């Protein structure tokens, strides 16, 4: 073998060896990363966080090429990870439906689903035109399964445009062409669209402008992609916080003289004389030709039904914790909302956290760590196996379910985080059919 041939053999051998080393390092790194993700999945299953509770991403492994774009795009932590070279869900129950992963995937390997084979999600019957099985009643946004703000806004617009076709030449006499129930993303978009088309409409909101978005922490990222807002145009805000989004909505509504009737909870919808009659909790009644339900799936905050719960000192959401100082506070609940609120309040107040079970479950690992530290340091007094029995002006009474002992405690404020009551009964009373969805695709690429 001459020198030239020997040199080529050596060169090729070195190149092959170099490539083999690179491949080995890559595969070893991939195995190490996969083991980390597998450990996180195992922990998520133990914590009860692996199964999604609402809208969530599903990855098509045949299309995934491991760009990691979905993970980078997700503003939450450890919702998605890479295992064996493919994207996968980890803490799926913490997915709040931003949809950023869906839009970021370059190979369109992600679709958004509602429910799973094990856990069904109840959704009303809605046609492709957003009309329910009750002619004249339409649904858009979260209640119909679309919790993404961008898409809820689009649905609110499309629903009203479909309602316009129903209203055309109907010949009915009514104070309103349309009543919109709910002033969240879909309801605000619907209100702007109704104004654009000169409809006689009314928007009712059981709480405050913004709906569910209003209850989020002030700095929480609520939207990660641009959207088209009726009567405004393209909203080019990325990594948008709750405050920024609410400020924008207020600005647009004020500009077009649209007033939202807040604190007007609709209790019932009845059909008569070809018109709908909506009755509110405060005793008012309104007649309309059509109805658009743009309410959230969680409906109304669940109450404990204990004496004194109607007092002004009782609240079901925490909006401005920095303004609350030097108070004796009881927080009731064992979910993330209760724990996060208790931690915020404990910075300037004395806080007791009461939870009916013997330990926290289905909470974020970071919250579990933080509440344990706060309890161990004495920052928060955590009382497991307890329940609130009586609320009075200056005190509350808490019962220990193990001993039966009832203790009266000096108290200024009570915050109750017991979840929300699904509006299923409200819908069924209006004649709207409900179906349980077990892993149904809601949003996919065209």
Nearby residues of 242 by Cβ (< 8 Å), 6 or more positions away: 210, 213, 214, 216, 217, 218, 219, 220, 222
CATH code assigned to 314-421: 3.50.50.60
User: Measuring CA to CA, how many Å separate 135 from each of 51, 99, 187, 274, 427?
Assistant: 35, 31, 19, 10, 14
**Contact predicate 107/57, CB 8 Å:** no
Nearby residues of 322 by Cβ (< 8 Å), 6 or more positions away: 348
Report how far residue 249's alpha carbon sits from residue 192's, in angstroms, rounded to the nearest whole number: 10
Q: Residue 381 has what pLDDT?
A: 97
Q: Residue 240 has what pLDDT?
A: 63
Residue 171, sorted as left (phi over 0), alpha (psi -120 to 50) or beta, turns out to be left
Domain ranges of the chain: 31-114, 122-299+427-443, 314-421
Report how far residue 208's alpha carbon sits from residue 215's, in angstroms, rounded to the nearest whole number: 9
Count of Cβ atoms closer than 10 Å to residue 179 Cβ: 26
CATH superfamily of 122-299+427-443: FAD/NAD(P)-binding domain (3.50.50.60)
Q: Any idea what DSSP says for residue 92?
A: G
**Contact predicate 276/137, CB 8 Å:** yes
Report how far residue 18's alpha carbon sits from residue 11's, in angstroms, rounded to the nearest whole number: 10
Query: Could you report the average pLDDT of every consecutive run of 10 residues in the chain (446 residues)?
Result: 69 79 78 85 74 78 89 81 89 70 87 75 80 92 68 88 86 88 91 95 86 57 65 70 78 91 92 90 93 80 90 85 91 91 93 94 82 95 96 96 95 90 83 78 63
Nearby residues of 39 by Cβ (< 8 Å), 6 or more positions away: none
- Phi, then psi, of 26 in degrees rounded to 5: -60, -50
Count of Cβ atoms closer than 10 Å to residue 246 Cβ: 19
Among 160, 158, 159, 191, which residue's Cα sits nearest to residue 261? 191
CA angle, 217 then 383 then 411, to 5°: 70
H-run or E-run covering 70: helix 69-73
**Contact predicate 155/266, CB 8 Å:** no
Q: Any idea what DSSP says for residue 39?
A: H
Q: Residue 218 has what pLDDT?
A: 52
What residues form DSSP beta bridges with 382? 353
Q: Where does 256-382 have alpha helices with state H?
A: 336-345, 365-377
Among 63, 100, 62, which residue's Cα sits nearest to residue 80? 100
**In this structure, what token pair is assigned to residue 144?**
């119909």
Report how far residue 104's alpha carbon sits from residue 100's, in angstroms, rounded to the nearest whole number: 6
Among 430, 391, 434, which residue's Cα sits nearest to residue 414? 391
Cα 189 to its chain centre, rounded Å, is 18
**Contact predicate 58/86, CB 8 Å:** no
Report how far residue 160's alpha carbon sits from residue 154's, in angstroms, rounded to the nearest whole number: 10
User: Measuring CA to CA, how many Å separate 227 from each of 127, 150, 165, 221, 443?
Assistant: 23, 5, 24, 15, 16
Task: Mention the CATH class of domain 31-114.
Answer: alpha beta
The reply to whether 122-299+427-443 shares the fold of 31-114 is no
Nearby residues of 200 by Cβ (< 8 Å), 6 or more positions away: 175, 176, 177, 178
Maximum C-alpha span of the chain: 103
């Amino acid at each position: 073998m001459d020198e030239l041939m020997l040199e080529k053999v050596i060169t090729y051998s070195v190149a092959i060896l170099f490539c083999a080393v690179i491949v080995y390092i890559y595969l070893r790194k991939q195995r190490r990363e996969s083991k980390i993700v597998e450990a996180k999945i195992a922990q998520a299953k133990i914590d009860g966080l692996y199964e999604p509770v609402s809208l969530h991403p599903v990855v098509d492994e045949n299309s995934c090429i491991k760009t990691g774009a979905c993970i980078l795009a997700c503003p939450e932590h450890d919702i998605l990870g890479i295992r064996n070279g493919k994207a996968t869900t980890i803490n799926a129950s913490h997915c709040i439906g931003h949809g950023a992963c869906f839009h970021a995937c370059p190979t369109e390997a992600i679709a958004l689903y509602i429910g799973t084979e094990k856990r069904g999600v109840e959704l009303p019957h809605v046609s492709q035109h957003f009309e329910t099985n009750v002619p004249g009643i339409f649904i858009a946004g979260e209640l119909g399964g679309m919790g993404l703000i961008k898409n809820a806004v689009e649905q609110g617009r499309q629903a009203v445009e479909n309602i316009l076709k129903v209203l055309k030449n109907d010949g009915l006499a009514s104070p309103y062409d349309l009543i919109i129930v709910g002033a969240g993303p879909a309801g605000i978009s619907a209100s702007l669209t109704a104004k654009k088309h000169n409809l006689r409409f009314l928007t009712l909101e059981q709480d405050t402008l913004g709906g569910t978005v209003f209850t989020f922490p002030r700095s929480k990222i609520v939207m990660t992609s641009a959207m088209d807002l009726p009567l405004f145009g393209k909203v080019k805000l990325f990594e948008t916080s709750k405050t920024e989004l609410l400020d924008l909505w207020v600005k647009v509504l004020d500009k077009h003289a649209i007033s939202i009737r807040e604190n007007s909870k609709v209790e019932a919808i009845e059909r008569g004389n070809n018109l709908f009659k909506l009755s509110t909790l405060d005793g008012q009644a309104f007649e309309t030709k059509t109805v658009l339900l743009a309410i959230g799936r969680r409906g109304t905050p669940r109450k404990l039904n204990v004496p004194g719960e109607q007092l002004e000192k009782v609240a079901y959401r925490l909006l401005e914790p920095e303004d609350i100082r030097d108070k004796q506070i009881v927080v009731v609940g064992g979910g993330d909302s209760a724990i996060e609120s208790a931690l915020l309040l404990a910075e300037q107040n004395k806080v007791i956290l009461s939870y009916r079970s013997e330990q926290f479950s289905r909470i974020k690992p970071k919250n579990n760590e933080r509440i344990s530290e706060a309890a161990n340091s004495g920052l928060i007094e955590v009382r497991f196996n307890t329940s609130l029995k009586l609320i009075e002006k200056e005190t509350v009474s808490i019962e220990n379910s193990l001993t039966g002992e009832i203790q009266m405690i000096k108290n200024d404020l009570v915050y109750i985080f017991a979840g929300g009551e699904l509006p299923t009964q409200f819908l069924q009373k209006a004649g709207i059919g409900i179906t349980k969805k077990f892993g149904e695709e809601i949003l996919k690429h065209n």
